[in-house]
Structure 1
Amino acid sequence: MTNALDRLAATIEARKSAAPDESWTARLLAAGPEKCAEKFGEEAVEAIIEATKGDRDRLTAEAADVLYHLLVMLAARDVSLADVLAELARREGTSGLDEKAARQ
């Protein structure tokens, strides 16, 4: 059984071949990776604003938008959710401080 993120990622992948006038996702993807990244940034800022306001329901809605736009942005660059999850698994058990130090 797949979870909601897996299903969303599969839907976004399927929309790559859809006509932009038939799908919001296809329209975003047709606009290119830069536009997808811009939309992700806008949604991230909106989530930050809601986090500072403390409205749990609005933050939840904005977080869902962030996840959707993150997956669209990744799809625009042919990075799959599985790729991201594999990277998270690789980092699992590593201290965040150690991981950041290893990047430098």
Structure 2
Amino acid sequence: MTALPQTGLHRLAQTIAARKGADPGTSWTAKLLAKGPEKCAEKFGEEAIEAIIEAVKGDRERLVSEAADTLYHLLVMLAARDVTLADVENELDRREGRSGIEEKASRK
């Protein structure tokens, strides 16, 4: 059985995981992770805000760029707390087929 090709998001998550123990002087990802989960969360928040600004402004090219930055920083933040992309995918799979309204109500 052959493995399915991985998406760029999967490859990025693997790269981030591999850099987790790397020298912070050689990798931006390692540098972020060395600063701890709180700093990783702060950087994710900054990038998310920048994506929101571009969405509101309507600049598609800038939105794509900021969305890529946001996804990267989300994966770094998750890695800082030992949460994998597979963990998030499993949660999405669990929710699949449920109404968003129903799913939100079940969280209360």
TM-score range, shorter chain: over 0.9
Question: What residue ranges of structure 2 are gaps of 5+ in the alignment?
Answer: none
Q: Does 1:26 align with 2:30?
A: yes
**Residue identity in the other structure for 2:52:** I
The alpha carbon displacement at 1:17 in A equals 1.4
Q: What is the match of residue 104 of structure 2?
A: 100
Q: What is the match of residue 76 of structure 2?
A: 72
Q: Give the root-mean-square deviation of aligned CA atoms.
A: 0.3
What TM-score comes out, normalization by structure 2 length?
Answer: 0.96
Q: Does 1:52 align with 2:56?
A: yes
**Residue identity in the other structure for 1:71:** L
Identity between Structure 1 and Structure 2 (%): 73
What TM-score comes out, normalization by structure 1 length?
Answer: 0.99
Q: 2 CA distance for matches of 1:35 and 1:102? A: 31
Q: 1 CA distance for matches of 2:10 and 2:105? A: 31
Q: Does 1:8 align with 2:12?
A: yes
Q: Say which structure is richer in helix.
A: 1
Q: 2 CA distance for matches of 1:34 and 1:22? A: 21
Q: 2 CA distance for matches of 1:29 and 1:17? A: 9
Does the residue aligned with 2:23 lie in a helix, a strand or coil?
Answer: coil
Q: 2 CA distance for matches of 1:17 and 1:98? A: 40
**How many pairs align?**
104
Q: What is the match of residue 89 of structure 2?
A: 85
